[in-house]
Chains A and B, each alone.
Chain A
Amino acid sequence: MAVLEMQRIGICAMKKDRKKLLELLQQKGVVEIDAHVEEDEVFKKMDTSSSRNIFEKNAQAAERALEILQEYVPEKKGMLASLEGKALVDARSYDSVIKRQDAIMSKARQLVSLSRQIAENKANIQKRENQIEALEPWKNLDVPMNFMGTRKTEGFVGTVSELMNTEQLYAAVTQAVPDVDAFFAEVISTDRDQTYLCVICGKKDAPVMEEGLRSIGFARPSQIGSLLPADRQEQLRGKREALIQKNEEIISQIAAFAEARRDLELVADYYRVRLDKYEVLGGLIQSKSTFLITGYVPKRDGESLKQELDRNFTLSVEVTDVEEEDIPPILLKNGKLAASFEGVVESFGLPGKGEIDPTAIMAWCYIFLFGLMLSDAAYGLMVFLACAIVLKKFPRMGEGMQKSLRLFMYCGISTLVWGVLFGGYFGDVVDVVSRTFFGQQVTIKALWFVPLNDPMKMLVYSMLFGLIHMFLGLGLKAYMLIRDKKYLDCFCDVGLWVIFLMGLILMFLPSSMFASISQMYFTFPPAVNTLAKAMAIGGAAGICLMSGRDNKNFALRIALGAYDLYNVTGWLSDVLSYSRLLALGLATGVIASVINSMGSMAGSGVVGAIVFILVFVVGHVLNLAINILGAYVHTNRLQYVEFFGKFYEGGGRPFNPFNMKTKYVDIKEEN
């Protein structure tokens, strides 16, 4: 349980070594390099943006190529593939990829251009299809679309925006051009809002006819070709087929690149790593022949890093303790169990300056409370086994995932223990099965008591656990204050509160109100009762006087103290908040027994057993899922609000070392 102590590191080395040195630092991955350093007369930053652009482009091209491969030749992955983590690649094949990087990049570029061709072809296929679609109404026309007439006649091919059949068309045309006596009109087809038609008349009547047709809303089509519409459609279909064919060929070409996948992954990571290096390089200040690196290094790595650097380069390394005004980044260091719970602390906020790392203590509270909320032996066993098996099977899964699974594994054990204490095994499945199928009820006795039968007892214990949890938080606050030698603060902000609250609790325990709620009777000797009153009053008076001690104005000081005393309502609501331990524990058990009794409704016998098994599996999986979610959320809440609220603020900056940030593979280090 600790926040790792950080030290400042300053390196001044020869410029000719800079790339080698950065590579070494990147491989070690223990230094966080300051990003913002001021330039001065002698030391200037170098512009690396052009090389960075090239690396960025190459990395993107390789990643794009991988996406293309994934799209057209998907890698077969199991359901749990996301748990496998990054593949481990030995340094030799990494080096060989670096040597072949140009060849691999040309493959990547080919893939990108192939996929661009596919996209273009697809656009063209769509275009052809639209054209075919547009010709659909014309396909019964037996003259070309651009038919203007013969030697003696004039043709009009087009649409009117009115629905009519051939008779109506004749009537409309006759009405529009009463003087023309010989013409031919035909409706080709109609759709929702247009009529497609063709009208032919003698050459001499053409101008009149055109005028007349326009008056009924005639318009020539936008797509005009010299082929018969049906032939044109056929031609377009042929082109479309050719394009589809072509795309299939391209896809099979892409498939041939499938074995380059691993190379592409390596090369993408390689460029990302180099990009990082050049970003750091661009941030360094350099003189004519030297350069400077400043940053943070964890104390445990400082000395060995210094030695290694001294051995390999001509340089000057300085490792010093952090100054008072520095705000070092935070790196947590915990044992295996506690480390699984670092994620919970991280998502609240890493320890701020001067705060302790609460992970280890919180981890035990977390396990305790989570188990209490889920509290079913069978569920606990299932969660434990599932997590343990997955952890065993995928040793290389990502660190974050591994930590959360381990968290649930430990919580599963605690759930198992609480389940045994409370007598929950899939709710009451033993009772139900024995009663329904074997005619005789067997009950596994709870080791402690059954909360459903005695909810008041459980409630009182929930609040007791809550009080212990919160006093623990207060204790940690006292620890931090004592460590910083703020004894007065420790006495006023923690001691007085403890006295005050203990007094209140001791006064409350023997009261008739508590007895009626909990059915527990406490009688203290009168001396204790007097002591309780004295503690409560003394504590309250102390808080009143001392809370606002920074204030010179006495009236204001008392007012602030009284306001602080009002926080006792906060304590009350915090304690009540732990009643969720009871509520969630009951929810698991009650829903489980609802499922069991639903399953047993079909009675005994073979059919009954089948129904029971079906209901049992579906129901309990659902119940488990929803209650794990509930227990997770509410345990987090109890930690964040009730526990951390007493002593912890967070707000630390995570340690972000300069290292190999790879996306696809991990490179095995050579020793």
Chain B
Amino acid sequence: MLGQLGGVYALLGAAVAALLAGIGSAVGVAIAGQAAAGVVTEDPAKFSKVLILQLLPGTQGIYGLLVAFVTLSKTGLLGGSMAAIDVPTGLMILAACLPIGIVGLISAVNQGKTSVASIGIVAKKPEQFGKAMLFPAMVETYAILALLVSILAVNSIPV
């Protein structure tokens, strides 16, 4: 019984990664989308530009999915034959999934806010799109670093 608990922890880790990062991206994309919709009512020609900016906070959700998937395939859950995972290993996997979950959540929400500001730039000065795109991309750096730690950690935990 106790042996199976390790698997539960590992699954919890995968869930946390997909869950938190996904929530963050959903919130971020939503607030950016509201701003983008406002710009499009004024000037439909800016649609493609603001759409790109709206999608920027969406990547954290993908990173979360990525880590969740790597975790699931590592534990063998995807193949249908789950490896026997003891409790310490399960907890280790859970801990490894935390960075992308938590950083993903917070960075996606804040990236969404930055995207809103950048959409403001595009509304007033569409020719500055290149620069406007940079500000949200800066926020994303930290999600990428968290993703890196999560992937490396999950990958190097022996199962």
Interface residues of A (CB under 8 A from B): 344, 346-348, 452, 455-456, 459, 576-577, 579-580, 582-583, 586-587, 590-591, 593-594, 597, 626, 629-630, 633-634, 636-637, 640-641
Contact partners of B151 in chain A: CB under 8 A: 455, 583, 586
A586 and B134: CB pair below 8 A? no
Q: Is B137 among interface residues, defined by CB-CB distance under 8 A?
A: yes
A630 and B59: CB pair below 8 A? yes
CA of A640 to CA of B131 in the docked complex: distance in angstroms?
9
CA of A582 to CA of B129 in the docked complex: distance in angstroms?
26
Query: What are 30 A-B pairs with beta-carbon distances under 8 A?
Result: A346-B130, A348-B130, A348-B131, A452-B70, A459-B148, A459-B152, A579-B144, A579-B145, A580-B144, A583-B63, A586-B66, A587-B59, A587-B62, A587-B66, A590-B66, A590-B69, A590-B70, A591-B66, A593-B69, A597-B78, A626-B58, A626-B62, A629-B55, A633-B56, A634-B137, A636-B134, A637-B134, A637-B137, A640-B134, A641-B138
With contacts A576-B145, A586-B66 known, what are 18 further pairs, Cβ within 8 A? A347-B129, A348-B131, A452-B70, A455-B152, A455-B155, A459-B152, A579-B148, A582-B148, A583-B63, A587-B66, A590-B65, A590-B70, A591-B65, A591-B66, A633-B52, A633-B56, A634-B140, A641-B134
Identify the closest chain B residue to A576 (Cβ): B145
B127 CB, min distance to chain A CBs, angstroms: 8
Count contacts on B: residues with CB < 8 A to the other chain: 30
CB contact list, B109-155 vs A, under 8 A: 127-131, 133-134, 137-138, 140-141, 144-145, 147-148, 151-152, 155
Contact partners of A346 in chain B: CB under 8 A: 130
Identify the closest chain B residue to A343 (Cβ): B130
Contact partners of B78 in chain A: CB under 8 A: 597
B152 and A456: CB pair below 8 A? yes
Pick from B129, B130, B147: contact of A640, CB below 8 A.
Answer: B130
A583 and B144: CB pair below 8 A? yes
B144 CB, min distance to chain A CBs, angstroms: 5
A196 CB, min distance to chain B CBs, angstroms: 41
Contact partners of A590 in chain B: CB under 8 A: 65-66, 69-70
A633 and B145: CB pair below 8 A? no
Contact partners of A630 in chain B: CB under 8 A: 59
Contact partners of A594 in chain B: CB under 8 A: 65, 69
Pick from A347, A452, A629: contact of B131, CB below 8 A.
Answer: A347
CA of A593 to CA of B130 in the docked complex: distance in angstroms?
32
Contact partners of B155 in chain A: CB under 8 A: 455
Contact partners of A640 in chain B: CB under 8 A: 130, 134
Contact partners of B69 in chain A: CB under 8 A: 590, 593-594
A629 and B145: CB pair below 8 A? no
A637 CB, min distance to chain B CBs, angstroms: 4
Contact partners of A577 in chain B: CB under 8 A: 141
A636 and B133: CB pair below 8 A? yes
CA of A574 to CA of B69 in the docked complex: distance in angstroms?
28
Closest 7 CB pairs of A and B: A347-B130, A637-B137, A580-B144, A590-B66, A583-B144, A579-B148, A583-B147
A414 CB, min distance to chain B CBs, angstroms: 20
Q: Output the residue of B58, B62, B140, B147 with the most chain A CB within 10 A.
A: B62
Contact partners of B131 in chain A: CB under 8 A: 347-348
Identify the closest chain B residue to A346 (Cβ): B130
CA of A577 to CA of B134 in the docked complex: distance in angstroms?
14
CA of A347 to CA of B55 in the docked complex: distance in angstroms?
20
B141 and A583: CB pair below 8 A? no
CA of A456 to CA of B62 in the docked complex: distance in angstroms?
20
A344 and B130: CB pair below 8 A? yes
A554 CB, min distance to chain B CBs, angstroms: 37
A582 CB, min distance to chain B CBs, angstroms: 7
CA of A629 to CA of B49 in the docked complex: distance in angstroms?
11
Pick from B63, B129, B133, B134: contact of A587, CB below 8 A.
Answer: B63
A574 CB, min distance to chain B CBs, angstroms: 10
CA of A469 to CA of B78 in the docked complex: distance in angstroms?
39
CA of A597 to CA of B134 in the docked complex: distance in angstroms?
35
Contact partners of A587 in chain B: CB under 8 A: 59, 62-63, 66
A613 CB, min distance to chain B CBs, angstroms: 21
CA of A283 to CA of B94 in the docked complex: distance in angstroms?
71
CA of A390 to CA of B95 in the docked complex: distance in angstroms?
48
CA of A450 to CA of B138 in the docked complex: distance in angstroms?
28
A577 CB, min distance to chain B CBs, angstroms: 6
Contact partners of A629 in chain B: CB under 8 A: 52, 55
CA of A629 to CA of B65 in the docked complex: distance in angstroms?
18
A389 CB, min distance to chain B CBs, angstroms: 20
CA of A431 to CA of B152 in the docked complex: distance in angstroms?
25
CA of A109 to CA of B58 in the docked complex: distance in angstroms?
50
A40 CB, min distance to chain B CBs, angstroms: 36
CB contact list, B60-99 vs A, under 8 A: 62-63, 65-66, 69-70, 78
Identify the closest chain B residue to A632 (Cβ): B52
Contact partners of B134 in chain A: CB under 8 A: 636-637, 640-641
B74 CB, min distance to chain A CBs, angstroms: 11
Q: Output the residue of B127, B151, B155 with the most chain A CB within 10 A.
A: B151
CA of A577 to CA of B142 in the docked complex: distance in angstroms?
9
Contact partners of A348 in chain B: CB under 8 A: 130-131
Contact partners of A636 in chain B: CB under 8 A: 130, 133-134, 137
Beyond A590-B69, A591-B65, A633-B56, is A583–B130 a contact (Cβ under 8 Å)?
A: no
CA of A403 to CA of B66 in the docked complex: distance in angstroms?
33
CA of A594 to CA of B145 in the docked complex: distance in angstroms?
22
Q: Output the residue of A459, A633, A641 with the most chain B CB within 10 A.
A: A633
CA of A629 to CA of B138 in the docked complex: distance in angstroms?
15
B153 CB, min distance to chain A CBs, angstroms: 11
A362 CB, min distance to chain B CBs, angstroms: 13
Contact partners of A452 in chain B: CB under 8 A: 70
Contact partners of B56 in chain A: CB under 8 A: 633
CA of A586 to CA of B137 in the docked complex: distance in angstroms?
18
CA of A323 to CA of B147 in the docked complex: distance in angstroms?
53
Contact partners of A597 in chain B: CB under 8 A: 78
Contact partners of B140 in chain A: CB under 8 A: 634
A329 CB, min distance to chain B CBs, angstroms: 16
Contact partners of B59 in chain A: CB under 8 A: 587, 626, 630
B158 CB, min distance to chain A CBs, angstroms: 15
B66 and A633: CB pair below 8 A? no
CA of A634 to CA of B58 in the docked complex: distance in angstroms?
14
CA of A593 to CA of B65 in the docked complex: distance in angstroms?
12
CA of A590 to CA of B17 in the docked complex: distance in angstroms?
15
Contact partners of B62 in chain A: CB under 8 A: 587, 591, 626
B133 and A583: CB pair below 8 A? no
CA of A591 to CA of B66 in the docked complex: distance in angstroms?
7
CA of A455 to CA of B78 in the docked complex: distance in angstroms?
20
A281 CB, min distance to chain B CBs, angstroms: 28
A579 CB, min distance to chain B CBs, angstroms: 5
Identify the closest chain A residue to B79 (Cβ): A597
Identify the closest chain B residue to A345 (Cβ): B130
